[in-house]
Chain A
Amino acid sequence: MNNINVTYLAGGPINDIKPLPPYDEHVCEFLAELSGKLRKDKRAAAYPDIQSFAFYCRKANIDRLKAEFQDGTKRLGKGMAFHIAPSNVPVNCAFTYLFGLLAGNANVVRVSSKESEQVKIICDIINEMFLSGKHQVVRNMTAFVLYEKDKKINDALSEHADIRVIWGGDAAISQIRKSPIPARSTELTFADRYSFAVLDPVRIAEESEKSIRHLVRQFYNDTYLMDQNACSTPHLLLWKTSGGKKAEEGKKRFWQLLYQEAKKYELADIKVSDKYVLLCEYILELEEIGQIEKMDNLLYIITMKELPGDMTALRGKFGLFFQHDIKELEEISEHITEKIQTCVYYGIEAEKLHAMILEKGLTGIDRIVPIGSSLDIGVFWDGYDIIRQMSRLIDCK
C-alpha cells in the first residue's frame, strides 16, 4: 500500500501480511504496555474515554478475555482488516484496532478527518512504542491512516481487505459499500440502531437516596454523556408497573434526580434549539402523545399514551426522553424490530427478557445490560462475536 496517498498517524504502510492466532502473545504484550502508557500519560489523563480504553486493554482484562475465548478450535486472523472508524466517537478507532489485533489481523484504520485530540494522543503513544523497536510484529500490522473522504482510496484499501469493518451508521455503510471487496472478504457493519430502557418504578421509590442518586448518575452517563446520540443510548423508558402511588413516586423521584444530575450537562444554544424543534416536531407528528413535561431545557419528558408500532420512531436528543407504562415484558415484543440493539434495565429480571427474545424469536435486542453499562463496548457488540467473526477457523478432523 505504499502507493496509496494517505497520512499515517501511527504505524506505516502494511506490505507483508502474516496473520497471528487470536490473543497472540505479541499482541497481548503490546496491549498491556499500551494500557500502562495511556494510564500514565499526562495528556491522556484528561480524557475519560481514553482512560476507559486503557482500562479495557489492561493485562488482567485481556487475560480474562483470552481465557474465555479458548474453545478448543484452531484459529488465525483473516489477514488484512480495513476499518472505517466513526467521526463522533474518537476512541472508537482504538477499540476497533484492538479487536482487529486480538483476532490476529493486520489493521488499516481510517480515522475521521475531524481533528481529535484523543486520536492524536493514542497514535503518538503507539508510535513511541514502535520507535523503541520492541513491537516489530505489531508494528507491521498497524496503520492508522487519515484521508479526506475519497472513493478512490476507499477502493484501493477495500481491494486488499480480507475483512472490512464499517462504523458510523447506515449512511457511512452505504457510502463505503460503493467500493467492492474481494469475493472471500467479509464485513462487519455497525448500522444505525436504537435502544431503550425498562425500569421498575416501585424499586426506585423504595431504594435509599444514595443508591438512586448513583443509579441516576449511571443513567446520565448512558445518555447525556454522548448527547443521547449513541446507538446504545436509551430514548424510551418503559416503566414496568401495575400502577399505584408508589410507582408514580418512583418515576417522579427518578426524573427529579436526573434533572439535578443534568445540571452539569453542557447545554449549548444549538442543542437547545435542536431539542426544542424536535419537541415541536413530535407534538405535531406523534398521534399517541400524552403529557409533556419540561424541566427547564435540560430534560424534556414525553409521556406516550400507547407505543407506536415501531418504537424506534421515538428518538430523543440532548436529554429528551419518552416514557410509557407496561404491565408485562411481553407487551414490548410486538414493538421490537431488527433496529433495536440494547435494552438497559433496572429492577427487572434480565433473564426473563433474554428468555422471551429466544422464545418469541424476536429480530431485535442484542444486548441486555444494567443501567450504567449502555456504552461499555466489548468483544461482543451489536450481536457480533467480534473476535470470532474477524478470524478464520481451521478445521482439522
Chain B
Amino acid sequence: MEINLQEFFNSKPYGLDKEKKEAMLSRQLIELTEYHRKNCSLYKNLTDGLGYEEQSIHTYYELPMLPVRLFKQYDFKSVAGEQVSKTMTSSGTSGQQTSKIYLDRNTSMNQTKALTKICNDFLGNSRHPMLVIDTKAVISNRRMFSARGAGIKGFSIMGRDITYALDEQMNLDVEGIQKFLDRHKDETIFMFGFTFMIWQYFYLELEKHHIRLNMKDGVLIHGGGWKKLASLSVDNETFKEKIREVCGNVKVHNYYGLVEQTGSIYMECEKGHLHASVFSDIVIRNPRDFSVCSNGEEGMVELLSVLPVSYPGHVILTEDEGVVLGEDDCPCGRKGKYFRINGRIKQAEIRGCSDTYEQH
C-alpha cells in the first residue's frame, strides 16, 4: 500500500471549505490509520486495545487518538529500521524525556513541501533574504537532530542569503545584521526564530542598546510556545508591538505545531487567528467524554495531519487546551478552522499518600 498525498499538494493550502476538506481528510486519515496498523505493531496493539474497528469509522473524528506523551516512552515506527533517514527529537529541557520521531526520506520531504506551501501563503512565492534569529551552532551540531535545528532547516528553504543573528555564544551579531540589511535595502526581509529566543536574545538586546533596525518591509515567523514568555507576562500583542518597535515595518506571524507533526504547522493570520491548512486539522475535545466541543468552547486539543507516514503520528491528543473560533469564515479570507491555543493543561493538586519528593 502506497500513501499518496498528491491531492493535498495540488490544493491551495487554505482553499477547501468544510465539506470538501472533511471528505478528503477523512479518506486519507482512515487509510493512513490502516496503513500504520499494518506497519507498526505497537500502534496496532494500542488501537486494538482502544476498541478500534475499521468498519465503524466514517470520519476522522472517530479515529483513535495517540497521546503525545507516548512518543517519549515508545518507539513508534512504521518503516523498517534501515529506511529511517533521520530521528528527530523534541528539544526537551534537560532532565526531561524527549520525543523520538522516526523519519524516512519521503516523510521528511513531504514535511518540507507542506511547510513551504503553507508559508508561501504568507511570504509569497519568491525567496526572500532570510535572517535566522538563532545561532548556526544549532544546525552545525549534526549529532542531534533537534526540533530547533529541524525548524531552522525547514524554514530556510524559503530564504536566501541566510544569515544568523546570533553568534555561537548566543550574542547578538549587530554588525552582521547591519551588513545583511545593507545588502538588501529595498527587499522584503524574512525573519525566523523561536519565540522565546527572539525575545531574550534579539529584542531585549536591541532594546538595551537602543538599536533600531528600521526595516521597510519584513515578515517574522516565530513559534515554539509561550510558556516562558507567559511567565514574563509577555503576550502575543505585546510581542508584536515590541518587535515592530525595534525592527520597523514587520508583519509578525506566530505559528503553532507539534514536533510530532512537523510541516503541517498552524500559522497565525493577519487577524491574529491560528489556521488549519489542508494538510491538517484541529479538533477540540471535551475532557469528560472526548466528545467534540462546539466552536467557542474550550477543551483538549487533538491534532491531525496527513504527513506522518513513517510513524503513526497522524492523530494526536496533545496536552494543550484551546478553542476553535470558527470555520471557513475568518475575515482574513482563508478557509478551514481557525482557533486559539490557551496553553498547557493546568497542573492540579492530586490527592494521595505518596509524596512526590523532589530531590535537592
Query: A86–B354 contact, CB under 8 A?
Result: yes
How far, in whole Å, are A271 and B69 apart by their CA atoms in the complex?
Answer: 14
- Which residues from B are CB-within-8-Å of A229? 350-354
Task: Give the distance in Å from the alpha carbon of A294 to the alpha carbon of B289 in the complex.
Answer: 9
Q: How many angstroms between the C-alpha atoms of A92 and B352 in the bound complex?
A: 11
The segment from A120-128, A248-256, A272-280, A357-365 that touches chain B is A272-280
User: Residue-by-residue, is B31-56 near A (CB-CB < 8 Å gives 1, otherwise 0)?
Assistant: 00000000000100110111100000
Please give, as numbers and ranges, the residues of chain A lying within 8 Å of B45 by CB-CB distance. 283-284
How near does chain B come to A299, taking the closest CB pair, in angstroms? 11
Contact of B287 with A297 in the complex, beta carbons under 8 Å: yes
Residues of B within 8 A of A348 (CB): none
Q: Are A297 and B288 in contact (CB under 8 A)?
A: yes
In chain A, positions 265-289 with a C-beta closer than 8 Å to chain B are: 267-273, 276-277, 279-281, 283-284, 289
- Residues facing A in B342-360 (CB within 8 A) are 345-358, 360
Interface contact B287-A269, CB-CB below 8 Å: yes
Number of A-B contacts (CB under 8 A): 126
**B355/A169 in contact, CB under 8 A:** yes
Which B residues are in CB contact (< 8 Å) with A225?
Answer: 351
Interface assignment of B321: CB less than 8 Å from any CB of chain A: yes
A270 and B345 contact, Cβ closer than 8 Å, known pairs A86-B355, A167-B353: yes
**Given that A267-B287, A270-B348, A289-B49 are contacting pairs, would A190 and B69 also be in contact in the complex, using a CB cutoff of 8 Å?**
no
Proximity string of chain A (235-267) to chain B, C-beta cutoff 8 Å, 1 when within and 0 when not: 000000000000000000000000000000001
- A230 and B319 in contact, given A273-B67, A273-B300 (Cβ under 8 angstroms): no
Residues 49 to 88 of chain B near chain A (Cβ within 8 Å): 49-51, 65-67, 69-70, 73-74
A62 interface hit (Cβ, 8 Å): no
Q: Which residues of B contact A268 (CB under 8 A)?
A: 287, 345-346, 348
With contacts A270-B347, A273-B319 taken as known, whether A89 is within 8 angstroms of B70 at the C-beta atoms is: no
Q: Are A88 and B347 in contact (CB under 8 A)?
A: no
Distance A351 CA – B67 CA, assembled complex (angstroms):
45
A280:B353 contact, CB within 8 angstroms = no
Q: How far is the CB of B214 from chain A (nearest CB, A)?
A: 45
A168 contacts chain B at the CB level, 8 A cutoff: yes
Complex-state Cα separation, A268 to B348, whole angstroms: 7
Contact B357 A88 (CB under 8 A): no
Tell me, in angstroms, the Cα distance from A205 to B290 when the chains sit together: 31
A227 to B353, CA, bound (A): 11
Question: Does residue B246 face the partner (Cβ distance < 8 Å to A)?
Answer: no
Which of A269, A270, A272 is packed against the most chain B CB atoms within 10 Å?
A: A269
Question: Contacts A89-B351, A271-B348, A273-B67 known; A175 to B357 CB distance under 8 Å?
Answer: yes
Residue among A114, A230, A272 with most chain B CB within 10 A:
A272
Q: A167-B353, A168-B357, A281-B73 given as contacts; is B288 within 8 A of A298 (CB)?
A: yes
Residues of A within 8 A of B352 (CB): 88-89, 226-227, 229-230
Chain B residues in 8 Å Cβ range of A269: 287, 299-300, 321, 345-346
User: CB distance B290 to A171 under 8 Å?
Assistant: no
- Asked whether B317 is an interface residue with its Cβ less than 8 Å from the other chain, the reply is yes
- In the complex, whether A157 has a CB less than 8 A from a CB of chain B is no
Contact B350 A280 (CB under 8 A): no
> Does chain B have a CB within 8 A of A87?
yes
B287: chain A residues at CB < 8 Å are 267-269, 272, 297
Contacts of A226 on B, CB cut-off 8 Å? Answer: 351-352
The 4 closest A-B pairs by CB, nearest first: A229-B352, A283-B49, A169-B354, A296-B289
Q: List 20 A-B contacts (CB under 8 A).
A: A88-B352, A88-B353, A168-B357, A171-B357, A192-B353, A231-B353, A267-B287, A268-B287, A269-B300, A269-B345, A269-B346, A271-B348, A272-B288, A273-B69, A279-B49, A280-B46, A284-B46, A292-B49, A294-B51, A296-B289
**7 new A-B contacts at CB < 8 Å, known A88-B355, A169-B353:** A88-B351, A225-B351, A271-B350, A276-B317, A281-B70, A297-B288, A298-B288
